[in-house]
Structure 1
Amino acid sequence: MHLRDLTPNDVPTILRLNNAAVPAVPLATDGELRALLAESTFGFAAVTDEELLGFVIGFGPGCDYASPNYRYFENRGTDHLYVDRIVVAEDARGMRVGQTLYHRVVDLAVEQGRDEVTCEVNVEPPNPGSFAFHSRMGFTEVDRQDNGYASVALLARRLS
């Protein structure tokens, strides 16, 4: 498995993976994912033999991204990289795909001198697997909010 940047050609595959992961992530259309990818600061794909096993899309500080979860972290005033979504194909779970993607995001945050990596995990509908994964990756809960489609725990991983 290796990582590469996401491209617009990946949208059909990431759309399928994204929508298979609902309600852990919001349902999306092809156009919504294309716009998200175009607007994002970073996007990485975990691939093997050109099969896409998982992906992560996120934003740096100062973006005009309307997500209430991203806005929360922007208003918090820390220098962060925000993970909007990380999705791993069901048949690739347990292969360290999510861990590999997060290591790349953390490396990017360190390279850029950021203070933390931020994200959210659903509280309602519950996502205990994601909570456990993020805890293992060093994230801690900093707050909770209702973002319109789910109640979420807002998480941060301090880098310094």
Structure 2
Amino acid sequence: MPITIRDVREHELDSVVAVNNAAGPSILPMDLAKARFFWEHAEYFRVVEQDGLVSGFLVALGPNAPHDSPNFLWFRERYPDFLYIDRIVIARPRRGGGRGRAFYADIQSFAEVRRPLLACEVFLQTGNDPALLFHGQFGFREVGQNVMGGSGIRASMLLKEMCSYPFVAETYGGKLPDAAWLKARALPGRQASLATGT
């Protein structure tokens, strides 16, 4: 059956938490409060659906989000404008089917008209080389490393320049055309800007 990538719906936050917490040790645990934080603040919060079930998700935040992740803060201290991928999770039975690649193609399309940089990290632990290679294939490069306080987990901090962004910013001056595929996610409680999602 085909897959669909679409914005998450509020009633699916429990499913997002379940997929996240069944993913294994390479993904930090998440509770419903964290999922709700993402619901309220993430510029990009999409799920992959197949056969009526959520089988993965990707969450990304802009630089002004009130996020306390040490890796997010690492990027914010160094770069004024970016879209930060906090996490991508694919349910174990659905891995290897191209969902991660589909998400990264989708978020790149989303980001390149809004932000100059796409940021993320990969934990540097044994067996995580496939994740580093995956990001390398998408054009990410390491710009530093960060050791997360408390956990001692070391992360490779990765950036990708959005090549289309300068043209879009110069041509449209912060206001994208009114087209369905360019609309930003409407954040609960406030109107999302088409240009920046803030």
TM-score w.r.t. the length of structure 2 is 0.74
Q: Distance in 1 between matches of 2:156 and 2:41?
A: 24
**Match for residue 82 of structure 2?**
80
Q: String of CA shifts for 1:29-87, please: whole Å, max 9, x gaps.
A: 22222223322222011112222121101101222211111111112124211000000
Deviation larger for 139-148 or 72-81:
72-81
Q: Distance in 1 between matches of 2:71 and 2:33?
A: 21
5 Å-filtered alignment, 1:131-146, equals 131-146=132-147
Which ranges of structure 2 fall in alignment gaps of 5 or more residues?
A: 164-198
Q: Distance in 2 between matches of 1:94 and 1:22?
A: 15
Deviation larger for 135-144 or 32-41:
32-41
Larger radius of gyration: 2
Q: 1:62 to 1:31 in 2, by over 3 A?
A: closer
Q: Check conservation: 1:53, 1:97, Cα contact below 8 A.
A: no
5 Å-filtered alignment, 1:15-26, equals 15-26=17-28
Q: Check conservation: 1:37, 1:57, Cα contact below 8 A.
A: no
Q: Distance in 2 between matches of 1:31 and 1:63?
A: 16
More strand by share: 1
Which ranges of structure 1 fall in alignment gaps of 5 or more residues?
A: none
Q: Check conservation: 2:146, 2:155, Cα contact below 8 A.
A: yes
Q: Check conservation: 2:21, 2:30, Cα contact below 8 A.
A: yes
**Match for residue 89 of structure 1?**
91
**Match for residue 157 of structure 1?**
160
Q: Distance in 1 between matches of 2:16 and 2:143?
A: 29
**Match for residue 119 of structure 2?**
118
Q: Distance in 1 between matches of 2:33 and 2:24?
A: 17
5 Å-filtered alignment, 1:17-56, equals 17-56=19-58
The percentage of aligned residue pairs carrying the same residue is 28
**Match for residue 63 of structure 1?**
65
**Match for residue 100 of structure 1?**
102
TM-score w.r.t. the length of structure 1 is 0.90
> Would you say how many aligned residue pairs link Structure 1 and Structure 2?
159
Superposition RMSD in Å: 1.6
Q: 1:157 to 1:140 in 2, by over 3 A?
A: same
Q: String of CA shifts for 1:134-159, please: whole Å, max 9, x gaps.
A: 11222111110111332111011112
